[in-house]
């Protein structure tokens, strides 16, 4: 069983007003307390999604407190001393200081990856319009911060499709636990492990793209740069407050080293860029480093609800039917409704899919799976309401009225980026082909199994 390394999400009793807005968004009812009193998080129930961090509106009137009080609070939260943003009661305690230290001392070879949802939200930290698409400026900023290799989680999202699509086809054709559930959202995985242990076998054995990238960095990537895996410090920039928990899972080190050494949220990357005095808006557009920074549009849409399913269909349909899709845009799996069902006719067989956003929406479906009545083969679940674009580590909207616009614009920017990319299917990505030819062998092969898959276990 994965142990929680530390409490990533906290509510500061000194600042909490007891308004209970967090109760309305917590997908697992993990917040307890009386109205008007400071609330508490039940650590056993919490899946660390950070939705309470996003909605919390109780903050310090810091200009009335003394400076020492504020600096102490900032340090408790691992935030930079100089930040002038309000300190909200519900907050995330991340890894900003650890990563800053590594970049300062340069005693490790640093490799960084960025989740798809970062490139459509980071600019908001610098006053740019909601949902601005900035992959090139983000790569440029990471280079100026001193990272040695600027790689991309999107590459590993393409790898995930190769492995997860093959796993699904294997389960469908050779027999295996069905329906299969996606496993790229660590809050969802934790929820199944804790609350539905009898259904753990339904989870895909694939690691998430974050963890696949980390495993590849310290093996294949290490070889490309002639650096020992032990000398690589692997940083993941994520929209997610649960990804630190995932990175800390004890079993995530098949290469012999922990796949990912530190996770920063989008907000924490913003702190690093601001502290370094980088003019983000004025940065030029730069490329990610090759080969592990090359990605397809399919990998890019992992950041939005329905994206993993669409990416999987774009490749699995062709693998099964041997024919190209009528339209590369599988619009039937897109949308904002909490549960979306689709049937894909792939010639030899029909694939019945379900896409779910928000854990509360999955409960009735899980009951049908438990009773053996599920009428679907493959289910994507994302804990956050619009998928990772609305994750707990994304820029926080100070005006609640901005939230729908932010999610709408971020989603549209991800789809626009998909449409402008050269490759739109994971199996078309030339660097994915190369990594299989030169290193992994084949999807579900021995090396892939060792590095890219894991075994999720019921919590005891």
Q: Where along the sequence are the contacts to ligand SF4 (CB under 6 A)?
A: 9, 25-26, 28, 30-31, 41, 46-52, 185, 187, 239-240, 242, 382-384, 387-388, 391
Whether residue 374 contacts residue 367, with contact meaning beta carbons closer than 8 Å, is answered with no
Picking from 117, 135, 156, the residue whose alpha carbon sits closest to that of residue 301 is 117
Q: How far apart are CA 160 and CA 435, in angstroms?
A: 13
Beta carbon nearer to ligand SF4, 33 or 86: 33
Smaller CB separation from ligand SF4, 53 or 320: 53
Does the N-terminal peptide bond of residue 80 adopt cis geometry, omega within 30 degrees of 0?
A: no
Least distance from ligand SF4 to the Cβ atom of residue 382, Å? 4
Min dist CB 197 to ligand SF4, Å, is: 18
172 vs 382, which CB is nearer to ligand SF4?
382
Q: How far is the CB of 8 from ligand SF4 (least distance, A)?
A: 8
Q: Of the two residues 130 and 140, which places its CB atom closer to ligand SF4 in the complex?
A: 130
Least Cβ distance, residue 304 to ligand SF4 (angstroms): 10
**Residue 60 Cβ, how far from ligand SF4 at the closest point, in Å?**
19
Q: What is the 3-state secondary structure (H, E, C) of the chain?
A: CCCCCCCCEEECCCCCCCCCHHHHHCCCCCEECCCCCCCEECCCCCCCCCHHHHHCCCECCHHHCCHHHHHHHHHHCCCCCCCCCCCECEEECCCHHHHHHHHHHCCCEEEEEECHHHHHCHHHHHCCCCCCCCHHHHHHHHHHHCCCEECCHHHHHHHHHHHHHHHHHHHHHHCCCCCEECCCCHHHHHHHHHHCHHHHHHECCECCHHHHHHHHHHHHHHHHHCCCHHHEEEEEEECCCCHHHHHCCCCCCCCCCCCCCEEEEHHHHHHHHHHCCCCCCCCCCCCCCCCCCCCCHHHHHHHCCCHHHHHHHHHHHHHHHCCCCCCCCCHHHCCCCCEEEEEEECCCCEEEEEEEECHHHHHHHHHHHHCCCCCCCEEEEECCECEHHHCCCCCCCCCCCHHHHHHHHHHHHHHHHHHHCCCCCHHHCHHHHHHHHHHHCCCCCHHHHHHHECCCCCCC
For ligand SF4, which residue has the nearest CB? Answer: 391
Active-site residues: which are they?
Answer: 164, 167, 184, 204, 243, 246, 251, 388
Say which residue the tokens 């009661």 belong to.
89
Count of residues for the chain? Answer: 460
**Nearest distance from C-beta of residue 230 to ligand SF4, angstroms:** 28
Please, which residue, 52 or 159, has the CB nearer to ligand SF4?
52
CB 374 within 8 A of CB 179: yes
The nearest distance, CB 240 to ligand SF4, in angstroms, is 3
Q: How far is the CB of 431 from ligand SF4 (least distance, A)?
A: 24
Q: Which is nearer to ligand SF4, 187 or 222 (CB)?
A: 187
Between 219 and 357, CB nearer to ligand SF4: 357
Q: Up-side HSE of residue 382: CA atoms within 13 Å toward CB?
A: 27
Q: Distance between CA atoms of 436 and 442, rounded to whole angstroms?
A: 6
């Amino acid at each position: 069983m994965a142990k929680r390394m530390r409490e990533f999400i906290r509510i500061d009793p000194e600042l909490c007003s007891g308004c209970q807005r967090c109760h309305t968004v917590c997908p697992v009812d993990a917040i307890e307390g009386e109205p008007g009193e400071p609330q508490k998080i039940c650590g056993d129930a919490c899946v660390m999604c950070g939705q309470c961090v996003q909605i919390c509106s109780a903050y310090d009137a810091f200009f009335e407190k003394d400076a020492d009080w504020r600096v102490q609070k900032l340090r408790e939260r691992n935030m930079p001393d100089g930040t002038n943003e309000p300190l909200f009661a519900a907050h995330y305690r991340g890894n900003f200081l650890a990563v800053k230290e590594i970049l300062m001392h340069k005693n490790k070879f640093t490799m960084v990856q960025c989740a798809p949802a970062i490139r459509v939200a980071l600019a908001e930290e610098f006053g740019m319009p909601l949902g601005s698409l900035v992959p090139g400026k983000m790569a440029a900023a990471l280079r100026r911060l001193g990272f040695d290799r600027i790689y991309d989680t999107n590459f590993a999202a393409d790898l995930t499709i190769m492995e997860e699509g093959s796993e699904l086809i294997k389960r469908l054709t050779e027999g295996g636990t069905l329906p299969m559930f996606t496993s790229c959202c660590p809050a969802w995985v934790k929820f199944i492990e804790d609350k539905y242990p009898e259904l753990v076998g339904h989870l895909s054995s694939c690691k998430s793209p974050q963890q696949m990238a980390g495993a590849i960095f310290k093996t294949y990537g290490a070889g490309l740069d002639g650096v020992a895996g032990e000398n690589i410090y692997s940083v993941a920039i994520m929209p997610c407050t649960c990804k630190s928990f995932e990175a800390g899972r004890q079993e995530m080190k098949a290469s012999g080293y922990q796949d990912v050494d530190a996770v920063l949220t989008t907000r924490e990357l913003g702190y690093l860029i601001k502290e370094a005095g980088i003019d983000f808006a004025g940065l030029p557009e730069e490329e990610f480093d090759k080969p592990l920074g090359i990605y397809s549009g399919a990998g890019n849409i992992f950041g939005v609800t329905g994206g993993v399913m669409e990416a999987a269909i774009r490749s699995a349909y062709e693998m099964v039917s041997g024919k190209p899709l009528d339209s590369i845009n599988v619009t039937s799996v897109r949308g904002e409704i909490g549960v979306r069902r689709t049937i894909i006719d792939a010639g030899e067989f029909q694939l019945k899919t379900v896409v779910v956003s928000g854990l509360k929406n999955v409960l009735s479906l899980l009951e049908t799976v438990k009773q053996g009545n599920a009428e679907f083969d493959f289910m994507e679940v994302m804990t956050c309401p619009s998928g990772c674009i609305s994750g707990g580590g994304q820029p926080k909207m100070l005006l609640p009225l901005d939230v729908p616009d932010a999610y709408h614009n971020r989603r549209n920017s991800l789809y626009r980026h998909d449409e402008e990319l050269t490759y739109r299917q994971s199996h078309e990505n030339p660097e994915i082909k190369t990594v299989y030819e030169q290193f992994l062998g084949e999807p579900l092969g021995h090396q892939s199994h060792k590095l890219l898959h894991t075994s999720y276990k019921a919590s005891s």
